[in-house]
Amino acid sequence: MTQAVAPRSEDILSCARRVLEVEARALDAMSARLGEQFAQAVRLILESRGRVIVSGLGKSGHVARKIAATMASTGTPAYFVHAAEALHGDLGMIHRDDVLIALSNSGETAELLAVVPLVKRQGGRTIAMTGKPASTLASLADVHLDAGVEVEACPLNLAPTASTTCALALGDALAVALLEARGFREEDFARSHPGGALGRRLLTHVRDVMRTRDAVPTVPLAASVTDALLQITRGGMGMTVVLDAAGGVAGMFTDGDLRRAIDRLGDVRAVAVADLMTRNPRTIQAGRLAAEAADLMETRRISQLLVTGDNGELVGALTMHDLMQAKVI
C-alpha cells in the first residue's frame, strides 16, 4: 500500500458526493423494479404463525442483524441467526412455522445454501434477498427479493457499499410494509422502546409524575396572602391551591398572581387570597398522558397544573419542572 497523501477538502467532498450519488441511483433503480415478489414476501410473513429469522454472513450478516432488530421493534417478532452458527446447532432455533430471510449479495454463500434446504425440509418458508436473481439461493427460496446493484460505490467495485445500502433499505421497506399492514401504532412502538424518549412520552401518565397529598400546598378560601405565601414557599411549586369549605378547588394562587397584585396594589399581605387568586384554574385528570400535560402547559403558557379526579376533586398537582425531571420534555 502506497503512502497516504493528505487530500484537499474539495477532493474529500467530491469523493463523498460520488459515493452518495452512486448509492442514491442504486436505490432509485431498486425502487423502480420492485414488484409482486415483494408483495408476496410481505403476505408470506403476515400469514406465518411463527417468527421471522434473518440470516447472513459477513457484511450481509451485519445488515441481517439490523433488519431483524427493526422488525422486532415494529411489531414483527424477529431475530438474527448467524448462518455459520446455524449449521452448528443454532438451526434448532428455527421452527416449521417460521420464515427465514436469507441475505447474500452473490446468492452463493455456502452456509446459506446448506441452511435453506434444511429449513424448507422441516416446513419453514424462505425469502432470499440477493443481488443476483439467477443465483442458486434465489432459485431455492419461495420468494426472491432483488437487491442487486450495477456498481458498488467503492472505486475498486469491490467493497460492499451500494449493495449493502440497498439490502438495508429493502429490509426497512419490508419492516414498514408489515408495520402498516398490522396497524402498528405509536403506543405499540413505545412498548418496545420503554427506555427511549418516545417511550417516556407515550407510557408516562400524569399520575406517575404528579405530587400528591402533603406535597401539594393548599390554603383555605379565607386565608390571607401572607398565609398563601408561606404555603408557596413550603411547597416549592410556585403556587398554592385554594380550597373551599367542602375541600373542593376554589382557585389557585401563584407567584405570578402575587407579582401582578403587588404591581397593582402595593402591600397585599393582609388582602384575602380569594380576591387575588386565579379562579377556574386549568386541570387535567391523573389518567391522561404526561405529554398531554406538557402540551397543555406550553399552549396555555402556564407552569403549574392541578390534577383532579373523576368528580373534580383535587388529587394532585405538577409543574413543568416535574415533567422535565421525568424526561417527558
What pTM was computed for the model?
0.66
The position carrying cell 399552549 is 299
Residues 6+ positions from 32 with CB-CB distance below 8 Å: none
100 neighbors 112 (Cβ within 8 angstroms)? no
Residues 44 and 143: beta-carbon distance below 8 Å: yes
Per-residue pLDDT of the chain in tens (329 residues, 90 and over written 9): 566 677 899 999 999 999 999 999 999 999 999 999 999 999 999 999 999 999 999 999 999 999 999 998 888 999 999 999 988 888 888 889 999 999 999 999 999 999 999 999 989 999 999 999 999 999 999 999 999 999 999 999 999 999 999 999 999 999 999 999 988 776 656 565 555 555 566 678 899 999 998 999 999 999 999 999 999 999 999 999 999 988 889 999 999 999 999 999 999 988 999 999 999 999 999 988 888 999 999 999 999 999 998 888 899 999 999 988 888 77
Please tell me the predicted confidence (pLDDT) of residue 87.
87
Q: Are 251 and 278 in contact (CB under 8 A)?
A: yes
Write out the three cell numbers for 185.
401504532
Task: List the beta bridge partners of residue 254.
Answer: 239
What pLDDT is stored for residue 202 in this prediction?
Answer: 64
Grid cell listed for 3:
503512502
pLDDT score of 326: 82
Asked if residue 309 lies in contact with residue 287, where contact means CB atoms within 8 angstroms, the answer is no
Which residues are bridge partners to 144 per DSSP? 128
DSSP string for 219-231: EETT-BHHHHHHH
Distances (CA, A) of 94 to 45, 80, 174: 14, 11, 20
Map grid coordinates 429469522 to a residue: 53
| Alpha-helical segments (H) within the chain | 9-33, 36-47, 59-73, 83-86, 110-121, 136-140, 162-182, 186-192, 197-203, 206-209, 225-235, 255-265, 290-300, 320-325
> Tell me, what's the pLDDT at 196?
55
Strand order in the sheet with 52-56: 78-82, 52-56, 99-104, 125-130, 143-146
Ordered by where they begin, the domains of the chain are: 9-184 (3.40.50.10490), 206-325 (3.10.580.10)
Maximum separation of any 2 CA atoms in the chain, in Å: 91
If you search the block for the grid coordinates 443481488, which residue do you land on? 131
CA distance 326 to 306: 17
